[in-house]
Amino acid sequence: MAEKVITRFAPSPTGYLHVGGARTALFAWLWAKKDGGEFRLRIEDTDRKRLVEDAEDQIKESLEWLGLDWHDTVLRQSERIDEYRKQAKRLVEAGFARESAEKEGTVIRFKWPEPLRPVAIEPFQGRQKIMVDPQTVASAFEEFVLIKSDGYPTYNFAHIIDDLETGVTDVIRGDEFTSSLHKYYAIYQALGRADALPRFYHVPPILGSDKAKLSKRHGAQDVLDYRAEGYLPEALANFIALIGWNPGDDREFFASLDELREAFDLSKVQRSPGVFDPEKLAWLNGEHIKALAPGDLLERAATGGFWEPGRDRAYDERVLGLATDRVRTLAELRDIRTGYFYEAPKVAVDRLVGKENPETVGVWLERVLRDLTKLPEAEWKSDRIERTLNDVRDELDLEPKQLFPVLRIVVTDADRTPPLWDVFEVLGKSETVSRLEAAQDLVA
């Protein structure tokens, strides 16, 4: 029977979850879930001086929003202090650590004992193995701290105890941790658990477009900021998965975490840093919005505060059906909604008439009203409306760029909309005629 893969995501609540951490969590989740393994969540909150009060809640809410569920309860290091101290004492008794009285107080430091053996660790599939020789590195490193003077463990010690206890088989984390592998292996050997050393996978960093370390100036934000701006969780997951990884073909759109899981393979993570491209994120989000059924889109937009339901659900869904090709975030739906739900033109006369004069526009509106009013309700369909509007335009000897922008402003107060006749059909004959008549009064 194949070994069950157990991964973990272990953020420190000294700040909110950003794109880089979210990608690490996503990779760990995908790798575990691919073959029915377990993904665990651990909060490494032993750096008490730098804790951010609501960071843990933000981290968990971000993971939940992205759909990254975890196995069992959350393990919180601050609740396991006695266990770390017990294990450190064991190392002291075995001669692998020592208590040291220092200026800040008593600490426990790891020693570099002779019995430790060299080992080759492969930190990433397909990469050159790293030879970890504790005897060689001992001369270059001071004995490092396991338990600090405040009684709390250091990261280098606590995470190993946790990984052993929870049976972690695969550790996925950033490249910056590669240089500490020799410390981890030495502790595993000292604990008598070298056999339980996990497989280590180190992923390259995410850079901005200028190849500098990713920051807010590149467009990176807290994960929940993307939710507030109208991004879909499946779109953000799709986007961050592709930063430094590809499925081995040209595919870029993954409709769900299930599709990502099926395609994901850690061996296809690139060695070089990935680049954060906000334009690509916006494009992908637009593609995910297009893929939603109108009812699903309505639910998400309303829940997120981007859409206030109007006259009836069917009407809302028809409006959203027209909008999906025009927006890249849910937030953009707010402007579209305004145009479909106001009861009379709110636009100033000079914006309505543009380069024309009010009298001329009044004539145009009169002719449009005359012919649209003649259309029976049963024929109020986009193709019939399109023919009618083009007949009026031909009669007035106008170019599309003259008449249609005026009508667009009249019915939606927007410069860009779906095809005008589609908008008229969704609005319905009565509402369309009412808006045209109101606009006619403005230019009279």
Task: Please report, for the chain, the start and end positions of each structural domain, with discontinuous segments joined by +.
Answer: 6-76+206-275, 80-203, 294-333, 349-443
**Cβ pair 224, 62 in contact under 8 A:** yes
Which CATH homologous superfamily contains domain 80-203?
Answer: HUPs (3.40.50.620)
Whether domain 6-76+206-275 has CATH 3.40.50.300:
no
Percentage of the chain beyond pLDDT 90 is: 62
- Residue 381 a catalytic site member: no
User: 3-state class of 434 per DSSP?
Assistant: helix
What was the pLDDT predicted at 443? Answer: 85
128 pLDDT band, cuts 50/70/90, is very low
Say what percent of the chain tops pLDDT 70: 90
Least confident stretch, 154-163, 286-295, 322-331? 322-331
Domain pair 80-203 / 349-443, same fold: no
The residues, any chain, with a CB within 8 Å of residue 99's CB and separated by 6 or more, are 92, 106, 107, 108, 109
Angle ∠(51,57,59) on CA atoms, nearest 5: 85
Hey, which CATH number is domain 349-443, 2.40.37.10, 1.10.10.350, 1.20.80.30, 3.40.366.10? 1.10.10.350
Residue predicted with more confidence, 178 or 247: 247
Whether the per-residue pLDDT at 56 is higher than 90: the answer is: yes
The catalytic position among 4, 129, 216, 290 is 216
Q: What contacts 16, CB < 8 A, 6 or more positions away? A: 52, 55, 58, 59, 62, 222, 223, 224
Q: Answer yes or no: is pLDDT of 115 > 60.
A: no
- Quick one: pLDDT band at residue 415, thresholds 50, 70, 90? confident
Region 345-356 average pLDDT: 75
